[in-house]
A = this chain, B = another copy of it.
Amino acid sequence: METIVVVAHPRLEDSGTQRFLKEAVSDLNYVVWHELRVNSAGHFDKIAEKNNLRDKDRIIFQFPLYWYSAPALLKQWIDEIFDMTDAAWLQKKELGIVVSLGQPLREYRLGGREGIALSELLSPFKAFAKYLGMTLMPLFIVEQFSYQNEKQHQKLMINYQQFLELPRAFDFDQKQRWFENKLKQKLETCSENKGDLEKILEEFTERHDQLSDLKNEINLIRRKDDYYGEP
């Protein structure tokens, strides 16, 4: 599966969040990082921009929330390159939104300081995907990146990479396998600490099998419960 990350940030070079996410993408073989920049006339090259998207299965719009919606740069790109009368070529592609917030997510809810849910503020993308026949992925939120600690950053990187690479509704097993593959890749490319990595991989795979067995058992118990329990 091929993915393109369309990055719209008015001051990209100042953004620690985008620098971090770019680093996360550099590891991935089937993900293209595409930063939006207007040409000297202040516009986008419609044909070139469309061609960037054609062979992709998943298109990501990635931006910071600016005044409660995407920055003007992304809207300009959308206004200039998409036609309402030429929608067929985008059908069946997936659309993912990666939005970064300067404020805590809890403010975007009933009674919060902003009082309007992020899903409502970003509803134009829902209508956009619907019109073009694209499948909208669950919103990916980067919440106050600069306040996150090292551990949270690591978790973010993994979640983000999985969001870009894994099939849409991925399950526990796919997530585990994804990890194993990443470890194997690391083993192939690295020269130091090979022994340590091998041990981690071995243990991880062993636990994966144990966890899969456990999951199966739970499923069996659950089915029994369903059968004997209340309807």
Contact = CB atoms under 8 A, between A and B. Distances in A.
Contact of A123 (B10, B123, B125): B123
Interface in A69-84: 69-73, 75-76, 78-79, 82, 84
Contacts of A130: 114-115
Contacts of A124: 67-69, 121
Interface in A60-102: 66-73, 75-76, 78-79, 82, 84
A38 interface: yes
Given A75-B75, A120-B120, A123-B123, A68 B128 contact: yes
A116 interface: yes
A82 B69 contact: no
Contact of A67 (B38, B42, B72, B79): B79
Nearest to A77: B72
A72 B79 contact: yes
Given A120-B123, A121-B124, A121-B127, A67 B71 contact: no
B123 A127 contact: no
Interface string A22-49: 0000000000000000100010000000
A56 interface: no
Nearest to A65: B124
A120 B128 CA distance: 14
Interface in A122-149: 123-128, 130-131
Contacts of A114: 127, 130-131
Given A68-B123, A72-B75, 4 more contacts: A38-B42, A67-B84, A115-B130, A121-B124
7 contacts: A66-B79, A68-B125, A69-B69, A69-B124, A120-B120, A121-B123, A121-B124
Interface of A: 10, 38, 42, 66-73, 75-76, 78-79, 82, 84, 114-116, 120-121, 123-128, 130-131
